[in-house]
Structure 1
Amino acid sequence: MTINPLRLVLLLVLASLLAWCTFDWVADQRDTARSERDSAQSEAQGLREAARISGEMLAARDRIDLQRTEELNSAQEKNDALQRDVDAGNQRLSVRATCRPVVSAASSTGSVADAGTAELATDARQDYFTLRSQLALSKQMILGLQDYIRQVVMRSPATDSSQQSMETTP
C-alpha cells in the first residue's frame, strides 16, 4: 500500500497544524496561570502589608489606652486619698469666698463677725469628689482620643511606605 505524496503532505500539514494549535493552547494556559499567580502574589503582599499596618495601629492604640488608664487610676487614687483625708479630718475642703458687709441706710458702717474660712458643707462633699472623678475620667478620655487621632488615624500608610522606600534608596 502506497500513500499518495499529496495525501502525505496533507497529512503532515494537518499533523503540524494540530501540534501548533496544541502548543498555542498550552502556551496560553501557561501565560494565564502565570498572570493569575502574579496577581495572587501581589494581593498576598498587599494583605500582608495591611495586616502589618493594622497590627501597628492596634499596638499604638493599646499603648495609648494603657498610658491613659494608668494616669486615670493615679488620679482616682489621689482623689480617693483626698476623700479619706477629708473624711478623717486630716484635711479640709476650703472654698474661696468673700463676704460683703451689709450696709443699711440707717448706719453708715457695717460690720461682719469674722467667721473664719469658708468650708464646703458636709452634704456637698460627696458631690465634689464625684465631680473630681468624672473630671479626671473625661480628661483622660479626651487626651486618649486626641492621642489616638494623632498617632493612629492621622498616620498615613502611604506616607510611611514612601518614607521607608526613601530611607532604603542610596
Structure 2
Amino acid sequence: MKPLTSLTLAAFALLIVTSWWFHQQYTVQKQRAESALQQLTQQKNELQNLVRRQQAIADLDAHYSEELTHARLTIENLQRDVAAGTQRLRVNATCKAVSGATTSSRLDDAATPGLTDAAQRDYFRLRERIETSNKQLAGLQEYIRNQCLITP
C-alpha cells in the first residue's frame, strides 16, 4: 500500500474512534442531565406539596384561632351581662334558713341562693379554660387527621 493510503486509513480510523468517544461522552452527559432534571422535578413537586401543607396548617390555625377568639368573646360578654344583671347564672342549690330565723316551711325565710363574687370569677375562668382546651384539642385532632396521617 501506498503511504498516503495508509495515512488516510489511519486518519479515518482516528476519526471513527474520536467520534465514538465523543458519542459516549455525549450519552453520559445526556443521562446526567436527564437524571438531574428528574431530581429537580421531584424536588419541585415535594416543595409544592410542602407549600400546600403549610398553607393548610396556616388555614387550620386561623380557623381554630378565630373560634377560640369567638368563644372568649362570648364568655366575656356573658360575664359582663351577669355583672350588669341582664343575665343570671343558674345554680342548683338548696336554700338555707337565714340565721336567727325560725324553721318553717315558708320560703320567705330562706336566703337567696347565689355564688360569691370569687366563685363567679372562678366559674368564668373555668369556663374559658374549658373552651380554650376544647378548641386546642379540636385543632390538634384536625391537624393530626389532615397533616400527620396522610401519606405525602
Identity in percent: 33
Give the Cα–Cα distance (whole angstroms) in 2 for the partners of residues 142 and 93 of structure 1.
Answer: 27
Q: Distance in 1 between matches of 2:112 and 2:9?
A: 117
The corresponding residue for 2:113 is 118
Using a 3 Å threshold, how does the CA distance of structure 1 residues 17 and 117 change in structure 2: closer, same or farther? farther
Task: Tell me, yes or no, if structure 1 residue 129 matches structure 2 residue 124.
Answer: yes
Name stretches of at least 5 consecutive residues in structure 2 with no aligned partner: 97-102
Distance in 1 between the 2:21 and 2:113 partners?
Answer: 97
Superposed counterparts of 1:6-45, under 5 Å: 7-45=3-41
1:89–1:83: structure 2 CA closer, same or farther, 3 Å change rule? same
Contact map agreement 2:82 2:89 (CA 8 A) in 1 = yes
Amino acid at match of 1:54: L
Q: Taking structure 2 as the reference length, what is the TM-score of the superposition?
A: 0.79
Gaps in structure 1 of 5+ consecutive residues: 101-109, 158-170
> Within 2, Cα distance between the matches of 1:94 and 1:42?
68
Deviation string 1:119-169 (CA, Å, 9 cap, x unpaired) is 221112222222222211111111011111112222223xxxxxxxxxxxx
Give the TM-score, by structure 1 length: 0.72
SS of corresponding position for 1:92:
coil
Q: Deviations along 1:55-80, whole A, 9 cap, x unmatched?
A: 22122212211221221111111100
Give 3-state SS (helix, strand or coil) of 2:61's partner.
helix
Residue identity opposite 1:92 in structure 2: R
The CA RMSD over aligned residues, in Å, is 2.5
Runs of 4+ in 1 over 4 A off after TM superposition: 110-114
Query: CA separation in 2, counterparts of 1:117 and 1:39?
Result: 83
Q: Distance in 1 between matches of 2:85 and 2:126?
A: 20
